[in-house]
Structures are given as structure tokens and as C-alpha cells.
Amino acid sequence: MRPHYASSIANIQPPKQQQYFEGNRKGEVNELKILVKNNLSEKDDKKKREVIKKVIAYMTLGIDVSKIFPEMCMASYTNDMVQKKMIYLYLTTYAEQNKDLAFMAISTFQKDCKHSDPKIRGFALRNLCSLRFSGAIEYLMPAIKESLSDIDPYVRKTAIMGCVKVYYMQPDYLSNIEEQLYKMISDNDPLVIINAIHALNEVLAQEGGMALSKKLVDYLLGRLKEFNEWGQATILDELSKYQPKDDTEMFNIMNLLEERLKHSCSAIVLAVIKVFMNFTKNKPQIYQQVITRVKSPLVTLASISEGNFEIMYTILCHIKFIASKGYNQVFAQDYKCFYSRVDEPTYIKLIKLEILSLIACDINLGDMLNELGEYVTDVDQEISKKSIQALGAIAIRLPDLANAIVKQLSSFITLQDYITNEIIIVFKDILRKDPKHIKDCLDIIQSDSVTDQNSKITLIYILGQFGSQIPLAPYILQTFVGSAEESVELKHALLTSCIKVFFTRAPEMQEILGKLFYCIINNENEDIDLKDRAAFYYRALQNNPNELKKLWQYGIKIDKFLEEQNINQEALLFEFNSLSVIYEKNVNKFIKSFEYFNNLRNKELQDQIQESQQTTTEKQEPIQDGFDNEQTITIPNTPNLLEISNQSQPSLTIDSFVLDYRIDVEYFENMWTSLNNGASFTRQLARIDIANENSMEQLFNRYRLYNIAAGEEDNVLQMYFYGAHKCQVFFEFEINKNLNTVLLNTRSELEDQAYLAQKYVQDFLKQSNLIS
Amino acid sequence: MFSQIFILSPRGDTIINRDFRSDLPKSTPETFFRQAKTYSGDANPLFTVDCIQFAHIKRGGLYIVGTSRFNLQPAMSLELLDRLAKEIKDFCGVINEEVLRKNFILIYEILDESFDFGYPQLMATEQIKPLIVNDPIQPQPDSVMNSLRPKIQTFNIFVPNTIGSQAVQRSVLNKNQANEIFVDIYEKLNVLFNSSAYVINQSIEGCIQMTSFLQGNPPLKLALNDDLQIGRQQGQYSAGVILDDCNFHECVNANELDMNKTLRIQPPDGQFVVMNYRISGDYAAPFRLFPIIEEISSSKIEVTIKLKACFDAKIIASYATIRIPIPKQTANAYTELVKNAQQETAEYDSNKKMVEWQIKKLNGGQERSLKIKLTLQATQTAHTARKEIGPIAMNFEIPMFNVSRLQIKYLRIEERGNTTNPHRWVRYITQSSSYVCRI
């Protein structure tokens, strides 16, 4: 997780502090705070930039650096644009959490909003408007109002976006802004116009967005080519909501837009198609012509898209959508464009297979069946399964071909299990539609290589339904009877199928059915529902088998199949060029209101504030000049502090330690140097009166930890202690009276014991009030 | 429009994270990465989780992701992310994790000029250039990442491997740069042979791509073949170059294309694709593959593959790689190249059950061959196992060669002013897209 560049700027930190710096984010943020603070007096812009860059790096990593807010506010009084840009990015990100402090920054923003350079004016305004807290509004509105009539378009377009930002904070402040926004649509600058359109659509969302008059449409279309790709796509999307007064107007607009279909930007092409479709949706003949006309540009985008598979995917989704609405014939000639290529990602291959199965018809069938057959043996299982499904879908849609497809699929019998599993499922649907194909399915049904749970259930269903025509049916069913691992669903299916076959082939089935009843009814752990069903059938058979047989041989003839209705009713409501087409879901299934997300966001924010409050109350952090790592706890080799404390390990008591444990100096030295640092902490010294060698030795002695070496130099007292409970523990203890700190390093053969021992020492140091 | 835009490393670390509208949870990068990892291959470019819409593209292994709570225009959102990726490339020279980490402040700058409150703003490189204050930091030239030759199956298919691309991989912010323009005609071939070396399907997808470092963005005039024809009538044969269909970049005026075969271009800075085209007609495939499979015994199979380069002897194809999948039940496989084979290797990967045959350089007119001797495990017979051999897929790149014969007659820089005549570099590159031979 550590950023790459950390090493390049590491030399800014004094080397002494380096050791506290590792693996501890809280410590790092504190470090950073000091760095930024010291940075304020730094003269060299290059060095200043590096420090601020580091703050942004932390922010990007998701580390909460909101604590540095006051320092960053101070730093914002700079003329260096490089720093300013970074600082503003920081301020806008954390203003939400630091409402009270954010006022400090506002004056800088305000000053920059009046700068002579329009680039700086626009930039400051954009950021000022992004300060997301309600108190800012009073400062915002005057700045926005002024900027809306700035001479520079860069500032004007920024001001319009500012209106939208205000709308989401305090909509009341924007009274009558619509009028001004409508006026700005006649601005000279295309980007100002586009932003005004976006703004109107957001502000007037409840009334259905911007109102389009004929005059406005003519005006926008006249200037269409002045806009960049996204602008054009936006205007075209607006246009699709417009209803031309008469056919002449409609054809005029369509003729004007036709050459845009040659654009390489898919956003424009799809937006034009949407306009065409919406204009002609009540005129079937023209609609058909539109579809024919847009085919070629769509196929071109779907095959090239500058190697951009993502866009290719989107186009393919739209082609599938058009084909599934009953226009599959339009793409029939171009079937070869939908063959998979080796360099395509799976998601492209899968959607191409769906399109192929939709557009299969007389003119392309021969080639296509061969091609789909090739995909069945693809190394990618997903492709293989999908191609089997595609073949099945064609067989159901075109009954004349079902026979050929069943035979083709049967030829894959000896290959992988997953192929057989999928083929069985496809066969079930084909057989439901037309039972006459059963003869050609026998090879697969009796192949004994069905392994998947769903496929097994499907197989059992087929055996039950067509038992009289499958010679081995009773014996295949027999293999499932009494097997303990099978699921309840499978047993239900098995029960049904066994009874069905029993009615047609009683002599063969009698024993098998009997065994099945026995297994189910006598199994104590069996599913109650299944047991009940089995018992019910059992008694019914005993009582009057013929009556039961009559009940089972119902004569319902099925003549409507869902698969046949290839027009998805719901799909008719999908809006072209929207995510509905991609997800194949109605818009209300995946879009939620602003309020819904706002609540989520607020909750998230509250959690965060609570969390940070908890940490600050737990450990009050005195901020001193120069040094601020008193609160730092560093535990090398145990990177996850939380995990350990969560384990609720037993804490050590004085009785855990061996009384009068003795070792010699040499042994201590050996152990100390051979062990890794297990745990350590640094605390602020609270009581100076007992901070001397003697009282410390006494204190540790009382807790059965023994001194082995001690020394004092330049007001720094250093002592070494040891002790033993389950294992030996060794301590380095330091009181620095210059810095008012207490430091403890703990080492042990068992690392988690070092941590416990450290807690133990920390506790008694607290009790003696040496540390707070 | 977009609520947030973030860029994640291949391992899911956040490199860039910009929240424009603050109307979605902050945990979206994790949500995205978790969902993306549920796909067996690459994730769908568009998906929804808990009513949050995610649109993403993958470039240089990085995920560039936009989120929204609106029912987006799908193509537009992906085009925007693609445009953003191109801007980053224009400013940083290349796009990869190292470069992005080094230049993250610059990328925030680009993001802030490109989007405001999630709506696209200035997105053309030359429009943003004057607003940018940070300088790009170039990656270490000797870094391991850069010295590795990219795999041919990169995400942006129009990246050549053979031609020294250092000149193109640079930032538009470089002030001392030469006044020059690069024009590339890339063609990607798609050929499908059946077992008797007969072509079942073939097509070409091509583009004219420019990378402009021209000062002052002067208008250009690009002339193509005189015999160029756009749109194919059913069953029509012609000696000329016929494109089935094509499309053009925003900056191109194609009104004179039918008459004079010329395009008028108002070039932006950096890289852009002038024109895309596709050709479905017959053409002479540059390579022919002849596989022969023999069942030596019930457990031994011998596969011989002959490769013939059917183009002019002056032209040299490079990095030809041929992959031959062999049966899963293979116990052992030996590969045999012709004696004294140079710059040629053949390796059997027992995990993937694949033989990979690499030929570094191959002159037109030459022939090569490879023999694979397979021994099967006892559980399968040669007769059923042979079905699992293939299809053979080939990758290659042929510089200074194009199949369609589409050519640039001239590229004229109009309104040149007083500056020296800028350099114009024209290159032709042909690559395989899907070059497959079935057995």
C-alpha cells in the first residue's frame, strides 16, 4: 500500500524519526502535520511542493488526513499555482468534515475569484463552489452571480456548474436562475451552452428537464458542429425527447443528422440513432428503413472501435437489443462480423454468441452451425456453454433445424463433462417443445457422464417424462436411488420421475420404486416434505394404483413457449442508448434517488466523525513544536494491531512472573541482540519526580522485573530490564527528560508475549502515574 | 453524469481518486474491485452494484473507472473514459502504473480541467495544455517494465511492437520537441482457415492514426489512393481499394473524399484516429498454415505444421508466434524444428497443454515447419484425442506492409507560415487480430 514516491521524498524527514514512521498511519499523519506546519516557513517552492504532494498522496490512498486542515488552510496563501492547485484539491475534499475551519480558507478563494487572469478566476471559483458545506453559500452566491457575466467563457462555464453545486446544497438560493440559464444558451461559447443545458436539466429535473421549443432546436442544430463530441451527444440526447410538428420537420432534422452516422465517436452515432428511432417509432415503415440505414455504422463501430473493446461491447449490446426487437433479419448478412476472434475478451465473445443465435436464419445457417460447433470445444468453459445454449436457442426458434442441431450436439458426447452437462439442459428445452427428437438424444441421455447437480435433475426429469422411449431409463434412475449425497431437490425430481416411469414400465420399476420409498421413508433425517410426499404416493399406490395413474396422465397440451416469444415485453420499454439496454433491466430496477444515496453518504460521514472523535478522546494529543511522536505505538513484526487486541488474550498479572528470576549480563546481551523487536511504545512523561534510576528500579522490581544495566547521559536515562513468565522477556527502557518522553522496547522469544508484557509494563507505569 | 472517477492498479490499489459530486459512498473503489474480480475473465465494462453504476475501461493493466447514480449514456461514458486515458497518454507519454504514480498530481490537474461536477468540460489536449502547471515526470528509461516487449494482445490493439516508438511516446508538454507529425496506417487481419487451408472468413479492420506534435495545429490535407471506393455493392469486383464502411474523427472533413479522395483535417495535439475502416472482401492472406496430423499408434500422434510467408521477399515479418493446443491427456510432447533453424524456438507448456512456436524474423517467400510428437496417457486413444488438437492461432506483425493497399498519396500542411517544413513520418503496420487455422 505504500506509495512509490515515498522513498523519493523520504529524505525530508529527519533520520531519527524514521523508526517511528513504519507501519503506523496515525503516526504518519502526525508526522505529516508537523511537516506541513514547518513547511509554512520554508522558502523554497520546490520543497514546499513535495510536502503538499505527500498529503495528496495520502489522501488518494484513502488515509484520513483531515487533521491537517488548519495547516493546509494557512498554506493556501501562496502564489505558486502548483501548490495552490494541490491545496485547493485538499480543501474541497475535506471541507465537509471541517466546516468550522473551512471559513479560514474562503478569503483566499474570494481573492482569487477577482484575479486578473481568467484561468485563476475560473479555477478559484470552481473550487470555491466545491466546498461542500451550507455555511459557504453566502460567500458563494455573490461570486457566482458576478462570474455568470464574466468576459471570459472559461469563468462563465464554471459559474454555471457552480449553480448546480449550489442547487444540491441549498436550492432556495437559486431563485429564478432558470431564466438566466436559458439566456446563456445563446452564449457564444459552446461549452457555456452545454453547461447551461446540463444545469437546466438538473435544476428542472422534476419538471422533466429543459423545455425544447422548435426555435431552440433549430438554433442548436444549426450550431451542432461547433460542439465537441460530448456536447453533440448531449444535444442529440435532448433532441430525442423532442417531437417534430410534422413529417417535413422530422425529415429535415433526420437528413441533417444523417452524415453524423459516419462519426467515429460511438456516443454521437448512438445518440443520432436514438433520435431517429424516437421520431419514427409510430411509423413502422420508416422505422424499418431507419434500422436498415443504421446497420452499417453500427457494424463498423462493433468491428473496429479503435481496439477499444469496452465500446465495442456497448455497440454489440445495442445491436443485440435491436435484433431482439424483431429486426434480426437486418443483421443476417453480416453474421461473419459476429464470429469470435482470439484476441477478444470473454465478455465480447459471449455477447457475440447471443447475437449469432438471434440472427440465425436461412441465408447464414450452414456456416453458422459449423462455427458455433467449433466454439463448443473452446478452452474457455463459459464460451463452450454459451455456444451450446446458442445452438439450443436456434433449435427452438427454428424447428426445422432442431433435428440437425440435436445430432450435432450429440456428437460432442465423448468430450468434457461440462459439455455433456450443458447439452442435457438444452435438450430438455428442445424436447419440451418437440418430443419427437428423443431418439436422437438417447446417446447423451444414456452416456453416464452427467456430473453437475442441475444437469442431473434435468436428466431425471427427461427420464421421467420420456421413460417409455428410453430403454435404459429404469436403470439410470436406479443409480440415483439411495445415494446419500444428493440434494433434496434432486430427490423430489427422482420421486416424481420414478412414479412416472412406473406407470409405463411397472415390471422393471417396481423394485426400484420400492427401494426409493424405503430409503426416503425410513431415513430419519430426511426432509419432511419429501417424506410426506413419498408416504402419500406409497399409500395411494397401495390403495388404488389405477386412480393415481389417471391423475398423473393429465392431457394438458402445451402450445405456448416462453422461448418462442423472442420479443421481450419488458424490453419494449427500454430506452435506447441507456444502461437499460446493457443490463437488460428496467430503469427502476437499478436507479435510486438522490436522497437514498445522500442518506448513505451522511451515515458514512457520521461514522467517520465518530471514529475520529473516539480516537482523539482516547488519546489526547499534545502538539509540540518539533516532536510529536509521544503517542506513537509501533509494533514491528505485528502489523495488524487490531487483530491482536480483538483476540481478547489474557493479560499478564504480577503472579505470572517468576519471582527473583536471575540471568547474567552476557546472556542478556546475547538474547537482546539475537531477538527481533517485539513491541514498543512511546509516551509522554507525566511525573518528573520519580524519573530516576533508583525509583525506576524499585518500581520494576515490585512487578518482578529486574534491572541489569542502567546509565544516564545528557538527561537521558536508559535502563535494561528482564523477567520471565511463560518465556523470558527483555526490556529497553528510556526516559528522555529533554523531550519529556518515556520509551519502552520489548523483546521476547514469543512475539505475542512481548506485546502482552509491554501492556503489563504500560499498565503499572500508568498506575504509578509516570505516564498518563 | 459521473459522480467519481478513480484509477486502480491491477491489484486494486487506488492511484487516483476524485470525487466530483459527493453523492455516492466513498467505498466505491473497493465495491468496484470486488465485483470486477467475480468475473472469470475481464469484467463487463458496465455493471451495477447496489444501484451504483460503474463504467470502466482497462488501459495498461489499470482500471479507469467512473461511477454514477444516473442512467448514463453507456457509449458516452466509456468514450469519455477513453478520452481521459488518451489525455493522460498525451501528457505523460505512456500510460502505465509507474508513470501514473509518479504523475498523480498532474493527472488530478487534467481531471479537474476535463470534468466539473462530473460533466465533461475541456477534453482536447491542446485546450487543456495552457491550463496545466505541473511538468510530467518521465519514468526511468532503464526500468524493467519498459524494456519488456509488450505482449501482442495488449488492450489497445493499435500499438506496434516492432517500430521504435520512443519518438511517439512522449509528452505534448515537452517544449523542445521537434515540429513533426506521425501518420500510421494500421491494419488488423482476421483470417480463419479450415483444415484444408481454405479461407472461411476474412476481414481487415484498419485505421489511419496520427500523433501530432505540430506547432500551432495547422490544417492538413491528406490524399488517399485514386482508386479508393467506399461502400461495396453485392457481388461487385473491382481492381481498386474498396472499403465496406468507414468513419471519421470529429476533426475531419470528409466532404471531398468521394470526389478527390482527400480528407481535410484540423489536427488536435497528440494522438487521434483520423479514420477507421473495415474491409470484408477477399485478399491474399500473408501467411498460410498447413497442419498434418498422423496417428502413429493408438497412443502416439505426430503433428506437422508448415508455415509459408506469401509476401514480397523484401518484407520481413516479426514476432510470429504460433500456438497449438494439444490434448489434455498428453503425457509427453517433443517438438522438432528443422535443422539449423535460426531465431526460432518451439516450447511445450505442460500446464497449459500448449505448444508455442516462435519465429523472430521471417522474410517473405520463406517456409518453415515444425513437428510435434505426442504421447498420450493410457486413458485416451489417439483417435478421440486428435479432436482436441487445435485450433492453431497465429500472432504476427509485418512492418511497412499493408494488405488493403490503402495508401497515403500525400500529406500537405496548409498555412505553413514561416516555420521550417515539419517532418511527416508515414508508417504502415499490419498485425494479426485473429489468425486461426482449424484442424
C-alpha count within 13 angstroms, C-beta hemisphere, residue B5: 24
Is any Cβ of chain B less than 8 angstroms from the Cβ of A545? no
Which of A86, A578, A604 lies nearest to residue B25, judging by beta carbons? A604
Chosen for mutation from B73, B107, B392 (greatest number of chain A CBs closer than 10 Å) is B73
Selection from A71-85, A265-279, A702-716 with the highest mean pLDDT: A265-279
Q: How far apart are CA B93 and CA B86, in angstroms?
A: 10
B195-221 tens-digit pLDDT: 788 888 899 999 999 988 888 888 999
Closest chain A residue to the Cα of B25, Cα to Cα: A601
Looking at A310-314, A414-418, A526-530, B397-401, which range is the least confident one?
Answer: A414-418
Which of A3, A314, A341 lies nearest to residue B74, judging by beta carbons? A314
Which of A59, A341, A346 lies nearest to residue B41, judging by beta carbons? A346
- Name the average pLDDT for chain A: 83
pTM for the model stands at 0.80
A465-482 tens-digit pLDDT: 888 888 888 888 888 887
Which of A269, A575, A591 lies nearest to residue B51, judging by beta carbons? A591
Residue with cell 427401494: A515
Do the chains contact at B387 and A56, CB–CB below 8 Å? Answer: no
Average pLDDT score over residue span A675-682: 79
- The number of beta carbons lying within 10 Å of the beta carbon of residue A447 is 17
Q: Compute the nearest-CA separation of A485 from chain B (Å).
A: 28
Do residues A67 and A608 make contact, with C-beta atoms less than 8 angstroms apart? no
- The number of beta carbons lying within 10 Å of the beta carbon of residue B124 is 20
Average pLDDT score over residue span B318-338: 88
**Across-strand partners of A731?**
A721, A746
Do the chains contact at B156 and A307, CB–CB below 8 Å? Answer: yes
Residues 415-444 of A with CB under 8 A from B: 415
A266 band by pLDDT with thresholds 50, 70 and 90: very high
Average pLDDT score over residue span B408-435: 83
Q: Compute the nearest-CA separation of A555 from chain B (Å).
A: 44
Query: What residue type is assigned to position A378 of the chain?
Result: D
Is any Cβ of chain B less than 8 angstroms from the Cβ of A607? no
How high is the pLDDT of residue A238?
93
Do the chains contact at B119 and A198, CB–CB below 8 Å? Answer: yes
The distance of Cα A129 from the centroid of its chain, to the nearest Å, equals 28
Do the chains contact at B434 and A341, CB–CB below 8 Å? Answer: yes
Is any Cβ of chain B less than 8 angstroms from the Cβ of A604? yes
Which of B23, B80, B153 lies nearest to residue A343, judging by beta carbons? B153
- The number of beta carbons lying within 10 Å of the beta carbon of residue A576 is 20
User: Which helix (H) or strand (E) covers residue B265, if one does?
Assistant: strand B262-265
Instruction: Give percent above pLDDT 70 in chain B.
Output: 90
Do the chains contact at B203 and A337, CB–CB below 8 Å? Answer: yes
Do the chains contact at A3 and B101, CB–CB below 8 Å? Answer: yes
A338-372 tens-digit pLDDT: 998 888 899 999 999 999 999 999 888 888 998 99
What is residue A703's three-state secondary structure? coil
Average pLDDT score over residue span A631-651: 42
Do the chains contact at A591 and B27, CB–CB below 8 Å? Answer: no
Do the chains contact at A592 and B248, CB–CB below 8 Å? Answer: no
Under 8 Å CB-to-CB from A746, ≥6 apart: which residues?
A: A677, A678, A679, A680, A729, A730, A731, A732, A754, A755, A757, A758, A761
N- to C-terminal Cα separation, chain A: 33
Closest chain B residue to the Cα of A160, Cα to Cα: B116
Under 8 Å CB-to-CB from A411, ≥6 apart: which residues?
A: none
CA distances from residue A684 to A736, A739, B337 in whole angstroms, order as listed: 9, 8, 75
CA distances from residue A762 to A412, A660, A767 in whole angstroms, order as listed: 72, 21, 9
Phi-psi sector, A616: left (phi>0), alpha (psi -120 to 50), beta:
alpha
Under 8 Å CB-to-CB from A493, ≥6 apart: which residues?
A: A457, A460, A461, A464
Under 8 Å CB-to-CB from A490, ≥6 apart: which residues?
A: A453, A456, A457, A460, A480
Do residues B188 and B206 make contact, with C-beta atoms less than 8 angstroms apart? yes
In chain A, count of helices (H) and strands (E)? 35, 6
Q: How far apart are CA A336 and CA A356, in angstroms?
A: 9
Query: In the structure grid, which three cell numbers stand for residue B130, read together?
Result: 495552457
Do the chains contact at A342 and B393, CB–CB below 8 Å? Answer: yes
Q: Where are the alpha helices (DSSP H) in B93-124?
A: 97-102, 104-114
The secondary structure of residue A736, as a DSSP letter, is E
- The number of beta carbons lying within 10 Å of the beta carbon of residue B170 is 18
How high is the pLDDT of residue B37?
93
How high is the pLDDT of residue A564?
57
Query: What are the chain B neighbours of A229 within 8 Å (beta carbons)?
Result: 79, 83, 250
- The number of beta carbons lying within 10 Å of the beta carbon of residue A469 is 15
Strands (E) across B310-380 are located at: 316-325, 330-337, 344-349, 354-363, 367-376
B176 band by pLDDT with thresholds 50, 70 and 90: low
How high is the pLDDT of residue B419?
62
How high is the pLDDT of residue B177?
64
Average pLDDT score over residue span A444-462: 86
Residues 381-400 of A with CB under 8 A from B: 382
Query: In the structure grid, which three cell numbers stand for residue A647, read together?
Result: 483476540
Is any Cβ of chain B less than 8 angstroms from the Cβ of A362? no
Closest C-alpha to A199, from A118, A129, A110, A109: A129
Query: In the structure grid, which three cell numbers stand for residue B105, read together?
Result: 498530481
Q: How far apart are CA B220 and CA B217, in angstroms?
A: 9
Q: How far apart are CA A438 and CA A663, in angstroms?
A: 88
Query: What are the chain B neighbours of A596 within 8 Å (beta carbons)?
Result: 51
The secondary structure of residue B296, as a DSSP letter, is E
A767 band by pLDDT with thresholds 50, 70 and 90: confident
Query: What are the chain B neighbours of A271 within 8 Å (beta carbons)?
Result: 73, 76
pLDDT surpasses 50 at A156: yes
CA distances from residue A359 to A319, A350, A651 in whole angstroms, order as listed: 10, 15, 72
Do residues A581 and A574 make contact, with C-beta atoms less than 8 angstroms apart? yes
3-state helix, strand and coil shares in percent for chain A, rounded to the nearest 5: 65, 5, 25
Q: Compute the nearest-CA separation of B380 from chain A (Å).
A: 11
Chosen for mutation from A55, A58, A60, A123 (greatest number of chain B CBs closer than 10 Å) is A60
Is any Cβ of chain B less than 8 angstroms from the Cβ of A687? no
Q: How far apart are CA A409 and CA A441, in angstroms?
A: 9
Q: How far apart are CA A482 and CA A461, in angstroms?
A: 18
CA distances from residue B199 to A333, B190, B192, B389, B402 in whole angstroms, order as listed: 18, 11, 6, 19, 19
Closest C-alpha to A600, from B70, B26, B66, B65: B26
**What value does the CA radius of gyration of chain A take, rounded to a whole number of Å?**
38
Q: Compute the nearest-CA separation of A87 from chain B (Å).
A: 11
A262 band by pLDDT with thresholds 50, 70 and 90: very high
Do the chains contact at B158 and A132, CB–CB below 8 Å? Answer: no
More confident residue, B420 or A479: A479
How high is the pLDDT of residue A574?
78
Is any Cβ of chain B less than 8 angstroms from the Cβ of A3? yes
A513-561 tens-digit pLDDT: 999 998 888 888 888 899 999 999 999 888 888 888 877 766 566 667 6
Is any Cβ of chain B less than 8 angstroms from the Cβ of A63? no
Closest chain A residue to the Cα of B193, Cα to Cα: A371
Q: Compute the nearest-CA separation of A445 from chain B (Å).
A: 20
C-alpha count within 13 angstroms, C-beta hemisphere, residue B382: 14
Q: Compute the nearest-CA separation of A343 from chain B (Å).
A: 6
Which of A126, A347, A598 lies nearest to residue B116, judging by beta carbons? A126
CA distances from residue B391 to B238, B286, B319, B337 in whole angstroms, order as listed: 33, 18, 20, 20
How high is the pLDDT of residue A632?
40
Task: Tell me: cis bond preceding B391? Omega within 30 of 0 counts.
Answer: yes
Torsion angle, alpha carbons of B83, B86, B90, B91, to 10: 70
Residues 287-346 of A with CB under 8 A from B: 296-297, 299-301, 303-311, 313-315, 317, 336-337, 339-346
B364-387 tens-digit pLDDT: 999 999 999 999 887 777 877 887
Do the chains contact at B117 and A165, CB–CB below 8 Å? Answer: yes
Phi, psi of A306 (to 5 degrees): 50, 35
Query: What are the chain A neighbours of B46 within 8 Å (beta carbons)?
Result: 313-314, 579, 582-583
Average pLDDT score over residue span A186-204: 94
Do the chains contact at B133 and A233, CB–CB below 8 Å? Answer: no
Do the chains contact at A342 and B436, CB–CB below 8 Å? Answer: yes
Do residues B87 and B114 make contact, with C-beta atoms less than 8 angstroms apart? yes
Phi, psi of B427 (to 5 degrees): -130, 150
Q: How far apart are CA A393 and CA B282, in angstroms?
A: 32
Q: How far apart are CA A219 and CA A223, in angstroms?
A: 7
pLDDT surpasses 70 at A4: no
